[in-house]
Structure 1
Amino acid sequence: MQVIAGGTTGLIKLRPKTTLVEKVPYPDSRDAHLSIRDLRREYIAYQKLPQHPRLLRLHSDSTPERLVLPYLQNGCLHEFLRAPPVSSKQRFQFAADAAEGLHVLHCVGIVHGDVNSWNFLIDDKFRLCIIDFAGSTINGEAGSAFEGFRYCLPRSIDDPSTIRTDLFALGSLLYEIMTSKEPFQEFNDEEAEAFFKTGNFPPTQDLPLGSIILGCWQGLYLSADVVFKDIRNTRCEPEGL
């Protein structure tokens, strides 16, 4: 099978002559037991999730140590946002989809823990699907994920992921969707972290969804559903960004 991607948990392999991929542990890795642990966690997450347009469906061939999922040929949001043009209408749709997908997770007791543009895939209708629950917190049981510097609510590495930390990361994702840039992209990781620690956020006043982005960072939202509804109620400008 062709290896098409790899992450912290394992390899993504494309099944020949199918539209399916397999997520499996790295072979002969000294940390294989951790990969298997995280794959089992993701398998449990998929058992809890409902059928929903913002989610992939786990194929019946799956096992706790080998996940079989649909292959989405349009790739991930991160790469799509960096291959312009991306219309305002599409950006607004992506923003709504991201908030909706996160809300679906929270409704069944799953905190993603690593919300970012790599963890959203684009389906055949150019809508988003949220992926990668290998490090997620499930029913309060701590996972192994931690957000990157530009998505992370400043806190100790030992503090668990929560709905609040997911919503902070959602703010950074919405910023990226609107600008095609990560927050503080022009600074290094440590500088970006320092800015967030002092509440010094990137300017959002001239951005579509600017007040929603800032609200996520400032902790003004209590649920992704309210973020989703506020996005849907915001008028999309017809011009490209």
Structure 2
Amino acid sequence: MSSSTPPQRELLMVGMSSKTYRIGDIVRKECHVLVDDIGITEENVKACKAEADVYRILGSHPLIAECLSIGPENEYVELKYYPNGNLKDYIHMNLANITESDLKRWAHQMIKSVEYIHSKGVRHSDFRLDQWLVDAGLNTRLSDFNASGFDDQPDLGLKGTRAQGFEIPSHCLPRDLEADNTVESDLFALGSTLYELVAGHTPYEGLSDELVESLFEEKKYPSMEGLLLNDIIMGCWKRKYPSAKDILHKMCGSRITS
């Protein structure tokens, strides 16, 4: 291929609100337009614009996916491409080489990234293990903010917006889903994500969504016996932590380091 030939545009995935392409070393997320459904397209545009605003709010941070550019109308975001992929797939592909130290380090980084976005007034609203990417240094970077909501950002001239979605059942705090997402709902989902990290599967994997929702509503949780981070995960589910910073304090007390 000639050096002057532009890189090919490779479709990576089609999500609920956006299409994701790889263009060389760039990942470009564009609004998913449905010509036959204007209503859904309008919701998709809203989600894409909110994600672009979130990247503006968060700026550059070593535990957040690196945003390279944003469209003039917030119609797309361009992110750095991370060849190692997401953390869920990376662990699956490299399971034999993953150590307890790796899991502890990633858990600490994941919680720190949550602390950071909350300090900026952002609620992610869709935590899952595959929302964290793995960079060249094998560190985690939080991504995928198209379900997120945020507080007013007067310095950026942005009016706050409620979350554009909510979590999958195994990560969803039992609540009125018509209400906005909160720090509390994010921390519950973080608990389920940490469970994914150390257990290798989602809470109650294999059960129906309805049964999983019912079990969490009844405050019945998966067995934590022998699992790394069991106290922290259960604390997230039982809403013992007011903030991600409190979870970090608990980890430091447990001598878990970054």
TM-score where L is the length of structure 1:
0.91
Maintained 8 Å contact 2:52/2:70 = no
d(CA) in 1 for partners of 2:167, 2:34: 27
* 1:147-191 residue CA offsets vs partner (Å, 9 max, x unmatched): 100000111220211000000001101111111111011322111
Partner-residue secondary structure (3-state), 2:164: coil
d(CA) in 2 for partners of 1:81, 1:180: 9
User: Could you tell me which residue of structure 1 aligns to residue 172 of structure 2?
Assistant: 152
d(CA) in 1 for partners of 2:228, 2:139: 19
AA of the residue aligned to 1:59:
L
* 1:5-46 residue CA offsets vs partner (Å, 9 max, x unmatched): 22112111111xx31111002244423222221111111111
Partner-residue secondary structure (3-state), 2:115: helix
Alignment of 1:1-241 (within 5 A): 1-15=9-23, 18-29=24-35, 30=37, 31-60=40-69, 62-63=71-72, 64-83=74-93, 84-85=95-96, 86-139=98-151, 141-235=161-255
AA of the residue aligned to 1:14:
R
d(CA) in 1 for partners of 2:240, 2:104: 20
Maintained 8 Å contact 1:205/1:211 = no
d(CA) in 2 for partners of 1:22, 1:142: 24
- The list of structure 1 runs, each at least 4 consecutive aligned residues, that deviate by more than 3 angstroms after superposition, is 60-63
Maintained 8 Å contact 2:69/2:77 = no
AA of the residue aligned to 2:240:
L
Unpaired runs of 5+ in structure 1? 237-241
Maintained 8 Å contact 2:114/2:244 = yes
AA of the residue aligned to 1:12:
T
d(CA) in 2 for partners of 1:11, 1:128: 23
Unpaired runs of 5+ in structure 2? 1-8, 152-159
Structure of higher RCO (CA pairs closer than 8 Å, 6+ residues apart) = 1
d(CA) in 1 for partners of 2:243, 2:230: 17
* Alpha-carbon RMSD: 1.6
User: Could you tell me which residue of structure 1 aligns to residue 155 of structure 2?
Assistant: none
Partner-residue secondary structure (3-state), 2:78: strand
Which has the larger displacement, 207-216 or 3-12?
3-12
CA positional deviation for 1:87? 1.4
CA positional deviation for 1:109? 0.5
d(CA) in 2 for partners of 1:9, 1:55: 20
Equivalent pairs counted in the alignment come to 234
CA positional deviation for 1:232? 4.2
CA positional deviation for 1:80? 2.1
User: Could you tell me which residue of structure 2 aligns to residue 239 of structure 1?
Assistant: none
d(CA) in 2 for partners of 1:97, 1:5: 26
Which has the larger displacement, 81-90 or 170-179?
81-90
AA of the residue aligned to 1:75:
G
CA positional deviation for 1:228? 2.5
